[in-house]
Amino acid sequence: MHIAWLGKKSPFCGNVTYGREVTNALLDRGHRVSFFHFSQADREDEVPDNVPNFQEVTIPFLFKSQIYTLPKLRSSKVLLRSLKKLKPDVVHASLTLSPLDFRLPELCEELGVPLVATFHPAFDNQLRNWASGTQYLMYQLYAPALANYDRVIVFSYLQKDLLVKLGVPAERVAVIPNGVDVEKYCPGESRYQGRWRGDRVFVYQGRIAPEKNVEALLRAWKASNMGNNSKLLMVGSGPLLAPLKSQYGEEIGVKWLGFVAEEAKRIDILRSADVFILPSLVEGLSLSLLEAMSCGLACIATDAGADGEVLEEGAGVIMRTTQSVATQLQTLLPMFRDHPELTALLGQKARQRVLDRYTLSNNITRVEELYESILGAPRLPLNLGSQFLSGR
């Protein structure tokens, strides 16, 4: 099968990781993948002849961030011309939150090619804070366009229910959670073992940004007086890195490691830790959380997005509200510091939960089955009147 994948290669974010992992797995199973991504290459619309099983096709853009992308006006023509030449069986868009997302149903209708989306934006099952309200607007904006995709992949039933309420036909929404390569992400030795000079090592891995609510974690850490034998590793970068780093540092056991691009190093950092903490206000299904669970860490996370589903029934500790995270963590942090047997047990349960529900292998099998189900199936007519950002 030939899959035209539209995704991101930079800047680094969960969408980048998702695209890399899924497309590599599809290639391993013998499929052909053409990877379309936004780039400033000089010859964006050239598609080489006699390509092997994998090739890249670049799409011009004006602006690109971890969240949004603004394509150039000619990007639709570049994409259409390339797809006509490549003749894929399926187009799969790991949505980059750009105006091009709204044009894809029309382009694929013109080509007669089935169109699949993976819809990533974080969400919360309740409008409990400013971040969840903002994300809800994103779902409202996208729902009319998503109703014209042949299938929309989301990561949880909560996310599906939200899209269905906003008008996306239920039969077009498939729940396929993120998956982890459990052979790579597994418990084991770490080159950082003992380097942090702490008996108990806690870790946060993700963007240092307001929606991740990292300041609540840092306030709780400082107020809990965790002592010299406990360390908190902060892995990631973002707009709040500089101000928070200046307020919370080595004197209270916080170590700022910055953005870590090398996957093997990120795995080593996880293996060197005991507890993973995710204090987010909104989430989708955190791949960082799944990776930590797969490495056998005990996990604490807010009930945002699908993270509560992941940790339910004893696979971790769920903070049920996002409105008092610092207060909740002031109780939880000393408990995890003082009870290593609890940490070990939760780490084992976390690893087993990933093995049972969130392996990359099972994820790819379900994606393949989804592709097969839409190939040759009759396509419903588009409701173009609802796509007010179609670009026409």
The CATH code of the domain that includes 19 is 3.40.50.2000
Q: How many Å apart are CA 123 and CA 304, to the nearest integer?
A: 7
**Do both 63 and 171 map to the same domain?**
yes
- Mark 65-92 as b/e (b = at least 16 C-beta within 10 Å): ebbebebbeebbebbbebbeebebbbbb
Tell whether 290 is covered by a domain: yes
**What's the pLDDT score for residue 126?**
60
What is the pTM (predicted TM-score) of this model? 0.85
Give 326's contacts (C-beta < 8 A, 6+ positions apart). 216, 217, 219, 220, 223
Neighbours of 164 (CB within 10 A): 15
**What's the pLDDT score for residue 10?**
83
Please give the tally of structural domains in the chain.
Answer: 2
What does the chain come to in residues?
A: 392
**Do both 122 and 108 map to the same domain?**
yes
Neighbours of 24 (CB within 10 A): 15
**What's the pLDDT score for residue 284?**
84
Tell whether 195 is covered by a domain: no
- Mark 342-381 as b/e (b = at least 16 C-beta within 10 Å): ebeebbebbbebbeeebbbeebbebbbebbeebeeeeeee
**Rounded (10°) CA dihedral 324, 326, 328, 330:** -150
Tell whether 187 is covered by a domain: no
**Do both 6 and 135 map to the same domain?**
yes
Tell whether 191 is covered by a domain: no
Q: How many Å apart are CA 328 and CA 323, to the nearest integer?
A: 10
DSSP string, 30-61: T-EEEEEEE---TTTT---SS--SEEEEEE-E
Helix (H, G, I), strand (E, B) or coil at 113: coil
Range of the domain at 35: 2-179+359-386
Tell whether 186 is covered by a domain: no
Which tokens go with 212? 């991740």
E strand segments, the chain: 2-7, 32-38, 54-59, 61-64, 69-71, 90-94, 115-118, 151-154, 173-175, 200-205, 230-235, 254-258, 275-278, 298-302, 317-319
**Do both 33 and 173 map to the same domain?**
yes
**Do both 127 and 261 map to the same domain?**
no
Which tokens go with 75? 């990007």
Tell whether 174 is covered by a domain: yes
**Do both 207 and 341 map to the same domain?**
yes
**What's the pLDDT score for residue 384?**
61
User: pLDDT tens, 312-366?
Assistant: 999 999 998 888 999 999 999 999 999 999 999 999 999 999 999 999 999 999 9
Tell whether 265 is covered by a domain: yes
**Do both 237 and 128 map to the same domain?**
no
**Do both 20 and 98 map to the same domain?**
yes
**Do both 57 and 86 map to the same domain?**
yes
Sheet bearing 200-205, strands edge to edge:
254-258, 230-235, 200-205, 275-278, 298-302, 317-319
**Do both 352 and 365 map to the same domain?**
no
**What's the pLDDT score for residue 45?**
44
**Do both 42 and 119 map to the same domain?**
yes
CB 321 within 8 A of CB 303: yes
Tell whether 190 is covered by a domain: no
Q: Which residue has tokens 């101000």?
A: 243
**What's the pLDDT score for residue 193?**
80
**What's the pLDDT score for residue 390?**
40
**What's the pLDDT score for residue 246?**
96
**Do both 171 and 210 map to the same domain?**
no
What does pLDDT average to in each consecutive run of 10 residues of the chain (392 residues)?
94 85 94 92 48 85 85 93 96 92 95 95 61 74 96 92 94 95 96 85 95 96 95 96 96 96 95 97 90 98 90 94 92 97 97 97 97 85 56 38
